[in-house]
Chain A
Amino acid sequence: MNARKSSIAYVIGFALLLAAPAAIYPVLIMKVLCFALFACAFNLLLGYTGLLSFGHAMFLGGSAYLTGHALTAWELPTLAGLALGTLGGAVLGALVGMLAIRRQGIYFAMVTLALAQLMYFVLLQSSFSGGENGLQGVPRGSLFGLDLANDYILYYLIVVLFSLTFWLIQRTIQSPFGQTLKAIRENEPRAISLGYDVDRYKLLAFVLSAGLAGLAGSMKTVLFGFATLTDAHWNTSGEVVLMTLLGGMGTVLGPIAGATVIVSLHSELADKVGSLVTVITGFLFVFCVLVFRRGIVGEGIALYHRMIGEKYR
């Protein structure tokens, strides 16, 4: 697909998003957008840098709490709270990244998972976070005099934030930085031998990914008015991996597709089947790893290439 065609597609997608609340309950779409943003941020790391973080919930959850606290206790305006959450995610990302990047591959995944668990216990035990109950009653606040308590008004704020972030991620992937990341992912020793200090590039990717995951968490707090331990739990870390894997890692739209499927699945099933949801999630993992590694979008692209008779690796 060339650049013109894809920008037309994006404009259509944006227009559909703007019109969607007419047909679908806006809170559901907003929830999907929050997780889609989370998964896109995660994909920047897994799909475009080749790093599997198994602790991304710590950025979602950490910023969810931070924004919640900022809006409640410090009474910051909503936008400032969102910005603070993003910044907080990035700072936490820098700290965690510096530690985790010292180990490669599988160890990197384990280190991030363990650090996320540390974060989880910190949130569980510290005084501001409300322990098992989480932070409740976070006000949505207002923006330019518009009351965000109105779902429709909040909806357009979230759509704009999501679209801007999506654009930024796109831009990052295609930037000189993104090109460098790609080289590192393709052949790290060669990149080093060409003079690249690969750890610093990985760290920046990690910080960006963590910051945007933080933004997703902050948006989620504003949307629902609470932050809970679930956001920081390893289950959530696993879920974002699944969204990306199922949608297609390393594809631009994959994480959005994956997030849509998983969020809808959960809202359909959660009340009906109880802990079978976990079992289903487990089977999805197994399915994706064994036979569906390209994911929904990846398979779609492959199919498209086959139809027009082109070779696709």
Chain B
Amino acid sequence: MNEIFGIPLPALLGQLMLGLVNGSFYALLSLGLAVIFGMLHIINFAHGALYMMGAMFSWLAMVYLGIGYWRSLLLVPLFVGAIGIVIERFLLQWIYKLDPLYGLLLTFGVALIIGGGFRYVFGSSGQPYSIPPELGGAVDLGFMFLPKYRMWVIVASLTICFATWFMIEKTRLGAYLRAGTENPGLTQAFGINVPVMVMLTYAFGTALAAFAGVLAAPTTQVSPLMSSNMIITVFAVVVIGGMGSIMGSIITGLGLGVIEGLTKVFYAQASSTVVFIVMVIVLMVRPAGLFGKEK
């Protein structure tokens, strides 16, 4: 069988694969949002900008410093995580006592500063970033070619996602984190430095975004505009999944990527809106979100 509903199988699988790639980015980003929200009670509007920064920095590192993909994959998230620390120390820490809406507005401002700044310096045109030679080419499955880089993106993202899930749900460090979320005063009394934990959580979330950015660089045109709509889609993902569960974020992100990919095959016009339409449906039938725990 080579066709499904009149669509050639390789094309379908190709889009499925692309959907999984996008879904991996959604999963990484919404996971970061959920981790940050859990600890800081702030929705990090700057997440998309940090993702873009990840991609831009790896391109800059390549062009100006000769730092290649593999080293960027490690260094850029560390660097952006450090920027996260600066953001947290200089800005976010002053508003923890306020209504969480201020957090959204503040990080929106940060997103504008980063986005506008990069556009001012580097313009809006896209830059190519080449796939590392080890991951070039494709695997021939007989009926289709599987690009190696796409497989790598999916594997790497899922590994990081599950490692994060494991760390938060199954280790002592994660237990401290969860305790800090639920009862900061008590956790502090046990000798854990909550402010530092909060700072590192934000840094970790931003590093995740940057990691996604580095992974994305070879799959797209690297430009300051690459994130401008991303964050809104990720917000929709978060609304659909609900931020109560780490695993929920991962599954929702991947699932929506796939749905988006399949929509491209069957009804391309709707591919940019399908995530929002899913959101509308979820709001109608399950207002708290698929994995939500409100109320």
- Chain A residues engaging chain B, CB cutoff 8 angstroms: 52, 54, 99-100, 102-107, 109-111, 113-115, 117-118, 121-122, 125, 234, 238, 241, 245, 274-286, 288-290, 293
Contacts and interface: CB of A to CB of B under 8 A. Distances in A.
B100 to A, nearest CB: 5
Interface residues of B, number: 42
Q: Give 4 nearest A-B pairs by CB, closest first.
A: A285-B109, A278-B116, A282-B112, A282-B113
A106 B110 CA distance: 17
B239 A282 contact: no
A182 B121 CA distance: 46
A115 to B, nearest CB: 7
A258 to B, nearest CB: 14
A115 B280 contact: yes
B43 A110 contact: yes
A283 B108 CA distance: 10
B294 interface: yes
Contacts of A286: 91, 106, 109-110, 113
A289 B119 contact: no
Interface string B242-278: 0000000000000000000000000001001100110
A125 B269 CA distance: 8
Given A234-B232, A278-B119, A118 B273 contact: yes
A289 B102 contact: yes
B5 interface: no
The residue among B109, B113, B273, B279 with the most chain A CB atoms within 10 A of its own CB is: B109
A294 B269 CA distance: 44
Nearest to B279: A114
A105 to B, nearest CB: 6
DSSP class of B's interface residues: helix, strand, loop or mixed?
helix
Contacts of A279: 112-113, 116-117, 120
B111 interface: yes
B83 interface: no
Contact of B101 (A52, A111, A113): A52
A309 B109 CA distance: 35
A289 B43 CA distance: 15
A102 B273 CA distance: 21
B100 A106 contact: yes
Interface in B77-101: 91, 94-95, 98, 100-101
Nearest to B295: A104
B105 A275 contact: no
Contacts of B280: 99, 115, 118
Contacts of B104: 52, 54, 106, 109
A283 B109 contact: yes
A105 B235 CA distance: 14
Contacts of B238: 110
B239 A110 contact: yes
